[in-house]
Chain A
Amino acid sequence: MPKPHVPKLAVWKFASCDGCQLSLLDCEDELLAIAGQIEIANFPEASSAIVKGPYDLSLVEGSITTPHDEERIHKIRKMSKYVITIGACATAGGIQALRNFKDVNEFISLVYARPHYISTLSKSTAIADHIEVDFELRGCPINKSQLLELISAFLHNRKPNIPNYSVCAECKRRGTICIMVSKGVTCMGPVTHAGCNALCPSYNRGCYSCFGPKETPNAASLSRWLLEQGVEKEELVRIFRGFNANAEPFRKESEYYEK
């Protein structure tokens, strides 16, 4: 009898804080069960035992910011059946994409005494800007139950159940009173992708969009509303320029109000 195929999982890191891959190690209750069903073949942060590719599923964390990484991501695509990006860094360039709006050489000389030692790209970009990806999981950090759902969906060849409505819909679902309406707090919920179960509003703070834009967000309408509430243009630019600054709808919106 042929041995059953044990799928091979690889986890890759680019420019990031490691928070998204840490989500996998934070699955304390599920970790050993996952390890029983799939082979953790390449996960340097957690294991020094590295099994050669090809891999069934590659999880990619982090954004592309160096010439070397630009090349590395293509190699990963070639050895992976499915590539899933995890987190705002990998799906939108992350917080480090704030460089995209400035002169990176100025940044280098601000931080490093000897700029010529540093090799970096002028922009921080999403993985999908370089290769074809099979799914993008949002969040900064990602939500670990969504990660587990995704891994199991891909390994069983079914469609992952990851909703694409807004954080507002999650507020309604959990019965949180809208803090934008009731307290006048600035909230990005209307344009933000669901996935966190409307966490911030439940802690009395506005959403700062760590999950990035939902599908077809009406950013212009939110901006107009916020301006009417007395939010200054500079602040509006900063609001859209957070952990998903380089996601197209947010980038365009921030550039519009920068002028």
Chain B
Amino acid sequence: MKNKTLKIDILARVEGEGGLKLKISNGIVKDVQLKIYEPPRFFEAFLRGRDFREAPDITSRICGICPIAYQLGASQAMEEICGVKVEGQLKTLRRLIYTGEWIESHVLHAFMLNAPDFFEAGSVIHLAQVYPEVVKNALRMKKAGNEIMIVLGGREIHPVNLRLGGFYKVPKKRELRALLEEIKWSKQAAVDALMFISKFEFPEFKQNYEFLALSDPDEYAILGGRLVSNCGINLPVNEYDNCLVEEHVPHSTALHSHLKGAGTCLLGPLARYNLNFEQLTPLAKETAFNAGLGRHCYNPFKSILVRMVEVIYAFEEAERIIEAYEEPGSPAIEVKPRAGTGYGATEAPRGICYHRYTIDDNGIIQDSKIVAPTSVNQSRIEKDLWDLVQANVGLTDEKLKFFCERAIRNYDPCISCSTHFLTMDIERD
């Protein structure tokens, strides 16, 4: 084969910035480098010296799409240090606002970022010209998710109402009930949307993933749980650092995280679906089967289906929580500082988001570590790309490029949050 170099300058429809470099020699893939050129923002460094109460608001600015993941991860870690456990309605309200984030983020990804790929459409705007009703309904579902965030958090991006110990102000019963009608409509719309997406053409591609997700005996894990994998991991969150290690590679400002000893693993919707399926609601499970998903799913191109299954679940969960809601006596439990180290991990829409902080007796942060899901998934994306390019090495560079972009978008990589993404170079010789 002739020597050739091809370049993808910017990867579109992902959050943040990055590029991709491929080396192919005589039809064999030699190197795949996912490049993140998102400028480093140094959150872990400037958190030092800040007050522990500021961590939820500051860390939320790591990512505008999943601020709740940061606010709640940081809060739970601080609460653990100070010996506070948020339970009952306050905990349930946290779960409720998180369902809002899942809905808003998953629908954004499924329809605005991922679906255009199946039509070779540039954007949701182009998609809207062909399927106006579908897009209108998707926007309405997304809005329902955002409304949950607004009622509970004050606004959908960087909500202001969450704090250590709970909330600044809890919603009145009627404020939440006012959301019910739209949530019920959206639940059905999500079922229809999943069935619509199920008719897309999915590339045949199967990967042998080690899935890692939080798992909670009582519910489909969102707010916390144990670190569980399909390859035998079952550890409490405070063992995270013993399980996953971060590595700094020259081609990326994002740190790469991987399983100690074992290598790459996959976080996010596919992982949760494969590990915690039994805890989904009957409607979510049934629609999943109707959409052609099996009990297990190893095709990353089908993650868009799994996201919509989770959207159905999230709407049902929101409905259930609102119907059972009783106003708590106080909006928050007081959290008084004491020296120590604490851990927090929640299921962000893209997967486990991990936090560890050390504070002193006055609540001043001494050390922090935050691992966004994309930094763990990055090396797994590279592995997928490697296999995908190898399987399709005969395609033209143009087609290969599109295939790679799609494969990356399956992951909904949040690049600004991996702070630590896309131009593409293909070198062939």
A residues with a Cβ closer than 8 A to B are 13-20, 22-23, 25-26, 28-29, 31-32, 35, 40, 43-50, 65-66, 69, 94-96, 98-99, 102, 104, 106-108, 110-114, 117-118, 120, 140-141, 196, 199-200, 202-205, 208, 210, 235, 238, 243
Interface centre among B43, B128, B155, B169 (most CB of A within 10 A): B155
Given A26-B146, A113-B248, A203-B160, residue A44 in contact with residue B10 (CB < 8 A): yes
Closest chain A CB from B348 CB (angstroms): 14
Binds A, one of B136-144, B271-279, B293-301, B310-318: B136-144
Residue-wise, chain B 317-331 has the 8 Å CB interface mask toward A (1 for contact) of 000000000000001
Asked whether B13 lies within 8 Å of A49 as measured between CB atoms, the reply is no
Q: Is residue B125 contacting chain A, with contact meaning CB distance below 8 A?
A: yes
Is the pair A32, B136 in contact by a Cβ cutoff of 8 Å? yes
Pairs A-B, 10 closest by C-beta atoms: A19-B64, A49-B122, A47-B123, A48-B12, A98-B46, A107-B45, A28-B139, A28-B143, A15-B39, A141-B157
Known contacts A45-B15, A47-B13, A208-B57; A199/B154 CB under 8 A: yes
Q: Of A46, A65, A69, which is within 8 A of B124 by CB?
A: A46
Decide: B157 and A26 in contact? CB cutoff 8 A. Answer: yes
Shortest distance from the beta carbon of B122 to any chain A beta carbon, whole Å? 3
What residue in chain A is nearest B141 (Cβ atoms)? A28
Contact B51 A235 (CB under 8 A): yes
Is B112's CB within 8 Å of the partner chain A?
yes
Question: Which chain A residues lie closer than 8 Å to B417 at the CB level?
Answer: 17
Instruction: Return chain B residues, CB-CB under 8 Å to A69.
Output: 39
Q: Would A114 and B248 be within 8 Å (CB), given that A28-B146, A29-B143 are in contact?
A: yes
A118 touches B253 (CB 8 A): yes
Q: Name the distance in Å between B51's Cβ and chain A's nearest Cβ.
A: 6
A18 touches B63 (CB 8 A): yes
**Nearest CB in chain A to that of B146: its residue:** A26
Contact in complex: A26, B156 (CB < 8 Å)? yes
Question: Do A17 and B168 form a contact, CB below 8 Å, given A102-B46, A106-B45, A112-B40?
Answer: no
Tell me the bound Cα distance from A69 to B250 in angstroms: 19
Q: B168 contacts A205, CB within 8 Å?
A: yes
Expressed in whole angstroms, the minimum distance between the Cβ of A7 and any Cβ of chain B is 15
Secondary structure type dominating chain B contacts: loop
Using Cβ atoms and an 8 Å threshold, which residues of chain A touch B63?
A: 17-19
Within 8 A of A (CB), among B5-39: 10-17, 38-39
Are B158 and A141 in contact, CB atoms less than 8 angstroms apart? yes
Which partner residue on chain A sits nearest B67 by CB separation? A19
Across-interface contacts of B420 in A (CB, < 8 A): 111
Neighbouring B residues of A50 by C-beta, 8 Å: 10, 12
B405–A118 touching, CB < 8 Å: no
Q: What 16 new A-B contacts, CB under 8 Å, besides A47-B125, A199-B155?
A: A14-B39, A17-B63, A18-B63, A18-B416, A19-B65, A19-B158, A25-B112, A28-B143, A44-B11, A44-B12, A47-B124, A96-B42, A96-B46, A200-B168, A205-B160, A238-B54
CB distance from B123 to the nearest CB of A (A): 3
A66 proximity list for chain B (CB < 8 A): 39
How far is A117 from B39 in the complex, measured between Cα atoms in Å? 12
A23-B157 contact, Cβ under 8 Å, with A102-B46, A204-B169, A205-B168: yes
Instruction: Provide a sorted-by-A list of 6 A–B residue pairs whose CB atoms are within 8 angstroms.
Output: A45-B15, A47-B116, A96-B41, A96-B46, A117-B249, A140-B158
With both beta carbons as reference points, the residue of chain A lying nearest to B122 in the complex is identified as A49
Cβ contacts under 8 Å, A31 to chain B:
139
Q: Does B108 contact A (CB under 8 A)?
A: yes
